[in-house]
Structure 1
Amino acid sequence: MFTHGAPRTSTDATSIGLLVLRLAVGGFLLPHGLGKLFGWFSGPGLAGFAGELQQFGLPSAAPLPLVLAALQTALGLMVVAGAFTRIAAVGAAAFLGVTVALNASHGWFWMHGGIEYPMLWLLAHLMIAFTGPGTLSIDAARRGSAHGH
């Protein structure tokens, strides 16, 4: 199918495509968790995240902000690495589902604070949950499987 050192089979191409998707999807989620956890990437840190939760009328007492920020960070890492991928992708999709619900009153377009952008990432995580991580993943290595499912 491909030449000059590129993937030779559709299975190879699919695994590379799933790796790229996992790197993007988990890689885009990860800085949001790290920003909440440590204040990195101009994130709010734990105190700021607790304030954001309060603004939305959600519980914000310790240790909840820490648990949520750590979980979001871990889910992003797991998706990137392809470790317990399906579970991690569903968990990440749940986080994004909450974001979609919280922003629904702002309409569709993200430029107006709407749900467009988080919905895209929610659907991308669900795609990974349905397809699995591919062969270039910790899950595939753990199973010794060429299918990564």
Structure 2
Amino acid sequence: MSVGLLLLRVLLAALLFGHAMQKLRGWFGGAGRAATGAIFEQWGFVPGARMALVAGLAELLGAASLATGLLTPGGCAIVVGTMTVAAVATAVHGFWAQRGGCEVPFWYGAAAAVLGFTGPGSWSLDAALGLPWSPGYAWGAAALALGLLASAVPLASRARVLRERRTTAPRGDDPAQA
């Protein structure tokens, strides 16, 4: 089981690293921070460039935690929170990724939640240091709850921005408001 958990942790961490570097540096066909920031602005995350930086750094921190198996419940919480925000923002396009949907962030967040419940396995820095993240309900539930709670802050801010845009946007059916 430890080999499987190590493989899951490292593969998820590698994907998160790539995802982060697309935002932060434009690697792997990504848009880079400025263009990603513009996309974030359209989605209601303002200021977009700063939010892209925060998202990219959170993905890197979560990836580092999962790859090494160090402070695993915290890394899982970071990934769950970041991917929840991304999934909500892209859910308007449906689920599947080929239509721009939330499939990828949903999967990354779900895999992190699973690792929160299973623990990092014996091939991890947590195990080597004797940290108490044994598999179980409590640590997984804590990581999941903390991640979801943390996602509420940017999602609430986004909801406020989108509400303001709707109330200040000119109506197309009233030429006096255009």
Determine the C-alpha separation between the residues in 2 that align with 1:32 and 1:116.
Answer: 14
Q: Secondary structure at the match of 1:58?
A: coil
Cα contact 1:93–1:126 (8 A) shared by 2: yes
TM-score normalized by the length of structure 2: 0.68
Amino acid at match of 2:94: G
Say which of 23, 26, 29 aligns to 1:39: 26
Cα contact 2:34–2:49 (8 A) shared by 1: no
Say which of 51, 55, 63 aligns to 1:68: 55
Determine the C-alpha separation between the residues in 1 that align with 2:24 and 2:71.
Answer: 22
1:114 equivalent to 2:101? Answer yes
Q: Secondary structure at the match of 2:121?
A: coil
Amino acid at match of 2:23: K
Cα contact 1:134–1:148 (8 A) shared by 2: no
87-96 or 44-53: bigger deviation? 44-53
Determine the C-alpha separation between the residues in 2 that align with 1:31 and 1:120.
Answer: 15
The one-character-per-residue Cα deviations of 1:92-119 (angstroms, maximum 9, x if unpaired) are: 0111111211122212222212223322
1:23 equivalent to 2:44? Answer no
Cα contact 2:91–2:101 (8 A) shared by 1: yes
Q: CA distance change for structure 1 residues 103 and 66 in 2, over 3 Å: closer, same or farther? A: closer
Structure 1: stretches of 5+ with no match in the other structure = 1-13
66-75 or 124-133: bigger deviation? 66-75
Q: CA distance change for structure 1 residues 35 and 125 in 2, over 3 Å: closer, same or farther? A: same
Structure with the bigger percentage of helix = 2
Q: CA distance change for structure 1 residues 124 and 92 in 2, over 3 Å: closer, same or farther? A: same
Determine the C-alpha separation between the residues in 2 that align with 1:16 and 1:148.
Answer: 17
Amino acid at match of 2:91: A
**Identity, % of aligned positions:** 31
Determine the C-alpha separation between the residues in 2 that align with 1:82 and 1:124.
Answer: 14
Q: Secondary structure at the match of 1:59?
A: coil
- RMSD between superposed Cα atoms in Å: 1.9
Say which of 70, 77, 82 aligns to 1:90: 77
1:48 equivalent to 2:35? Answer yes
**In the alignment, which residue of structure 2 is the partner of 1:134?**
121
Cα contact 2:23–2:33 (8 A) shared by 1: yes
